[in-house]
Structure 1
Amino acid sequence: MNLKRKVEIAVISDVHLGTFGCQAKQLLTYLNSIAPKTLILNGDIIDIWQFKKRYFPKSHLKVIKKIMDFAANGVNVVYITGNHDEMLRKFADTEIGNISIVNKLVLDLNGKKAWFFHGDVFDMSIQNAKWLAKLGGWGYDLLIVMNGLVNWCLEKLGKERYSLSKKIKNGVKGAVKYINDFEEVASDLAIQNGYDYVICGHIHQPKMLIKENKYGQTTYLNSGDWVENFTALEYQFKRWKIYSYNNDKLSPFFGDDDIKEMNTQDLIAAITIVEQPKSKKSK
């Protein structure tokens, strides 16, 4: 039997299926570990910008199949378009069964308003010079491939993995300022429009923090990515958390102290479902 964690909402973004940097196997492991009521794909799931017919491994196809299986089994799947899959924007507001394609999404979560969008609308380099942004994307993809070779060598030597691109981002003042500006703009707009939560992707920086200005406050959340950080957002028991594949695995989702004090059997029932093995059909 397989234990699957129940979550009300799971949010993933920046998967970049169809590129060398995509870590589809880790994502598939994560998707197989949860039983969401709603799955929100917050942009850049399929990288149409860098799509190559000669490169779309089975693991990438399995991620798509898993998402389709979710929808077939009653999970509400919402695909929010991003810049790398912007071709899908022509199909915005389309619904096929349990799958819907939108440019943005607003949900009421236990009396609080949550605003979901990818975030590329704030990126002027994309809005004003798409060819330059695409060139940067190809360079980033090359850097990820080089990083993979470096990490293969490090693992053979028994050393920890290392992220070249994260090191470069964290060491460049312009990149740090861009990320901070992105968070500020998204949060200010959310406060201005009365949203309690603003949930983005795009900048590959998982984050959850309370932002406030003189007009009010909001909770800014970013789902990160499945290229370097292997992170998602989960909403359960009226709370958000950042799921980290490298750290969390199948750790329970505690809502409050009352849940922590439940006995083991009740706790397992509250946070998981048990998937029974399929019986073989008699010949």
Structure 2
Amino acid sequence: MDKKIYFASDFHLGAPNYNESRKREALIVSWLNFIEPSCSELFLMGDVFDFWFEYGKVIPKGFIRLQGKLAQMADAGIKIYFFKGNHDMWVNDYFTKEIGIEIISDELVMERNNKKFYLHHGDGLGPGDTKYKFLRKVFRNRFCQWLFAVLPPRIGLFIANGWSGSSRIANDKKEVFLGEENEWLAIFAKEELQKAHYDYFIFGHRHLPLDIKLTNNSRYMNIGEWINYNSYGVFDGEELRLEYFNPKS
């Protein structure tokens, strides 16, 4: 495998404000420039945006530099996947039509170089968080989405941006390691291993870079977020690594 596969999540573009988001967008584009020569596939694993909703002919303004860079990479033959997160679950077909990005609604199971991967944003998995799991079903319900789409975009985006402002990222909430026995995505991964073997489980959503050995031949990696860590995963055909982007190094 001459080229590499990259995984990143939780850019939360749009939060906590325009200026900070623009700086982060520029950093992310710099990272994309850095990985592009070695990249065969790019997995954007949810919450790329702190809020996203596609109306029939309207999308949230901004983020044009990221979209332009992704379009350029896709045109160059790099396969790009976009996972729906809990903040951008209302992505529909805009990025597919305009850029050629494949949208993933839930999990993706795949094999690369005889390694089996289980990929998911991470929201709604594992024990607990029953309130969000209920809300996730409501937010993903087509009728509920239609009701929201009936609102004029100015009103709908105002409501959504207010909700987005209460997010963990917008409030700079720092996450701490809970111990392997309490990390709900590690618990979920161990339960899945009882059903089938996976070499790697890769999630976002947790906002904390983690690399946990589940068994002798299975690992759980959380690829973190891009406000505090600038972390990402990279698979070179032999090994999956958790890395951090420092444009000054």
Structure 2 length-normalised TM: 0.70
Look up the equivalent residue of 2:130 and give its one-letter code: M
CA deviation string 1:158-180 (max 9, x = no partner): xxxxxxx32xx33xxxx836961
Specify the alignment match of 2:132 in structure 1. 126
Does the CA-based 8 Å contact 1:75-1:98 persist in structure 2? no
Aligned match of 1:176 in 175, 178, 187? 178
Equivalenced residues, count: 207
Aligned match of 1:39 in 29, 39, 42? 42
Structure 1 SS opposite 2:178: helix
Does the CA-based 8 Å contact 1:187-1:218 persist in structure 2? no
Q: Give unmatched runs, 5+ long, in structure 1.
A: 1-5, 145-164, 251-283
Specify the alignment match of 1:245 in structure 2. 245
Cα deviation for residue 10 of structure 1 reads: 0.7
Specify the alignment match of 2:31 in structure 1. 30
Cα deviation for residue 47 of structure 1 reads: 2.2
Structure 1 SS opposite 2:103: strand
Specify the alignment match of 1:148 in structure 2. none
Task: Compare CA radii of gyration and give the structure with the larger one.
Answer: 1
Structure 2 SS opposite 1:71: helix
Cα deviation for residue 80 of structure 1 reads: 1.3
CA distance in 1, matches of 2:196, 2:77: 32
Specify the alignment match of 2:74 in structure 1. 71
Does the CA-based 8 Å contact 2:12-2:169 persist in structure 1? no
Going by fraction, where is helix more abundant, 1 or 2? 1
Aligned match of 2:171 in 143, 156, 170? 143
Cα deviation for residue 95 of structure 1 reads: 7.4
Specify the alignment match of 2:83 in structure 1. 80
Does the CA-based 8 Å contact 2:15-2:165 persist in structure 1? no
The percentage of counterpart residues that share the same residue type is 25
Specify the alignment match of 2:7 in structure 1. 11
Cα deviation for residue 64 of structure 1 reads: 1.9
Specify the alignment match of 1:112 in structure 2. 115
Are residue 234 (structure 1) and residue 234 (structure 2) matched?
Answer: yes
What does residue range 122-271 of structure 1 map to in structure 2 within 5 Å?
Answer: 122=125, 123-129=129-135, 138-144=166-172, 165-166=173-174, 169-170=175-176, 176=178, 180-212=183-215, 218-246=218-246
Does the CA-based 8 Å contact 1:77-1:100 persist in structure 2? yes
CA distance 1:102–1:96, change in 2 (3 Å): farther
Structure 2 SS opposite 1:86: coil
Q: Give unmatched runs, 5+ long, in structure 2.
A: 139-161
Cα deviation for residue 190 of structure 1 reads: 4.0
CA distance 1:42–1:139, change in 2 (3 Å): closer
CA distance 1:110–1:65, change in 2 (3 Å): same
CA distance in 1, matches of 2:27, 2:182: 25
Look up the equivalent residue of 2:235 and give its one-letter code: Y
Structure 1 SS opposite 2:77: coil
Specify the alignment match of 2:153 in structure 1. none
CA distance 1:183–1:135, change in 2 (3 Å): farther
Structure 1 SS opposite 2:171: helix
CA deviation string 1:158-211 (max 9, x = no partner): xxxxxxx32xx33xxxx8369612222123314522211111101111122210
CA deviation string 1:110-166 (max 9, x = no partner): 1121111111022534212469xx95861535423xxxxxxxxxxxxxxxxxxxx32
Are residue 99 (structure 1) and residue 105 (structure 2) matched?
Answer: no
CA distance in 2, matches of 1:206, 1:137: 23
CA deviation string 1:58-83 (max 9, x = no partner): xx321221111111111000111111
CA distance in 1, matches of 2:85, 2:193: 19
Does the CA-based 8 Å contact 1:112-1:196 persist in structure 2? yes
Does the CA-based 8 Å contact 1:109-1:238 persist in structure 2? no
Look up the equivalent residue of 1:24 and give its one-letter code: E
Does the CA-based 8 Å contact 1:7-1:235 persist in structure 2? no
Structure 1 SS opposite 2:69: helix
